[in-house]
Amino acid sequence: MKLLECPINGIRPISEFTYGGEYRNMPNPDTCSDSEWAAYVHYRNGAPGLKKEWWYHTPSGTWFIAERNTMTDKVNRTYLLGQEEAK
């Protein structure tokens, strides 16, 4: 993957972006067990497949979500957090 589409700024070379890790749902810290929390903090799912990832367009300071297949390195779509439907 050498190009990525920022939902605000369009298609740009990957060098303009910073990877922000997989988007993961935080368990409720008040109700989850210690081991559930530890799993959330420390475990990552490395199996290839479709992932929701955080990406940041550095020149404009835009965080967004990219749905990327880590097997094929294809990005299916990108959108601002919470604006998944609009896209």
Partner 1 sequence: MTSRIAKKRGEWINRDKPLTFQYEGQTVQGYEGDTISSALWAAGINVLGRSFKYHRARGVLSFANHDVNAMMTDGVDTNIRADVWPVADGMDIKAVNTIGGVLKDKNKYIDYLSPFLPVGFYYKTFYKPKSLFPFWEDKIRKAAGLGEVNFNYPRIIKPKKFAHCDVLIIGAGLSGLSAAVKAAEQGLDVIVVDENKQAGGSLTYDYAGEQTTADTLTSLLGKVESNPNIRLITDAYAGGFYGDKLVPLVGKDGITKVWAKSVIVASGAFEQPPVFRYNDLPGVMLGSAAQRLIHRYAVKPFNKGVVVTANDYGYRTALDLASVGVDVVAVIDMRRNGAPRDLSQKVRDKGIAVHISSCIYEVIPTSDKLGVKAVSVCPYDDISAGADSGHTVRLSCDGVAMSAGWAPAAALLYQAGTKMRYDYSVEQFVPDELPEGVFAAGKVNGVFDSKARQLDGQRAAAEAAAFLGKTVDVVTVPKVEMAPPSHPYPIVEHPKGKNFVDFDEDIQVKDFINAAKEGFDNIELMKRFTTVGMGPSQGKHSNMNAIRILARVRQLPVEKIGTTTARPFFHPTPIGHLGGRGFHPHRYTAMHEWHVDNGGVMMDAGMWMRPAYYQYRGRTMSAMEAVQEEALAVRQQAGMIDGSTLGKIEVFGADATEFLERFYTGKFSKQKIGESRIALLLDEAGVMVDDGLAVRVDDEKFYVSTNSSNAATVYREMQRNVQLWGLQVTLVNLTGAMAAMTLAGPKSREILSTLTKADISEASLPDGNMIQAEIAGVDAKVMRVSFVSDLAFEIHVPYKAGLHVWKQIMAAGESHGIRPFGTDVQRLLRLEMGHHLISHDTDGLTNPYEAHSEALLKMDKPFFIGQRSLKIIAKKTLNKKLVNFVLEKDFTGDMPNECNLVIEDGNIKGRVTSIAYSKYLNRVIGFAFVAPEQGSTGSTFSIRTDSGAMVKATVVKAPFFHLLDNDGE
Partner 2 sequence: MQNGIFKSPIAFAQAPLKPINGIVNGMETAITMADKAIEASRYELLSICDVSALNRFGVKGPNAAEWLAAASLTLPEEKNSWTLQGKRELVLRLGSSEYLIEEPLNSQMVAQLNALPVNQSGVHKVIRNDASFIVSGKLATTLFSEVCAIDLSGDALEENRLVMTVIAGVSVTLLRQMLNGQSVYRIWCDGTFGPYLWKTLLGITEEHGGGAIGFSFYYEIN
Give me the residues that bind partner 1 (CB under 8 A), please: 1-3, 13, 18, 20, 29, 32, 34, 37-38, 40-42, 54, 56, 61, 63, 73, 80-82
Q: How far apart are CA 24 and CA 22, in angstroms?
A: 6
The two tokens of residue 20 are 């922000």
* Nearest distance from C-beta of residue 65 to partner 1, angstroms: 10
Q: Which residues contact 76 (CB under 8 A, 6 or more apart)?
A: 50, 67, 68, 69
* Nearest distance from C-beta of residue 8 to partner 2, angstroms: 6
Q: Tell whether residue 67 is a contact of partner 2 (CB under 8 A).
A: no
Q: Tell whether residue 8 is a contact of partner 2 (CB under 8 A).
A: yes
Are 11 and 77 contacting, i.e. CB atoms less than 8 angstroms apart?
no
Are 23 and 53 contacting, i.e. CB atoms less than 8 angstroms apart?
yes
Binding site for partner 2 (CB under 8 A): 8-9, 12-13, 15-16, 57-62
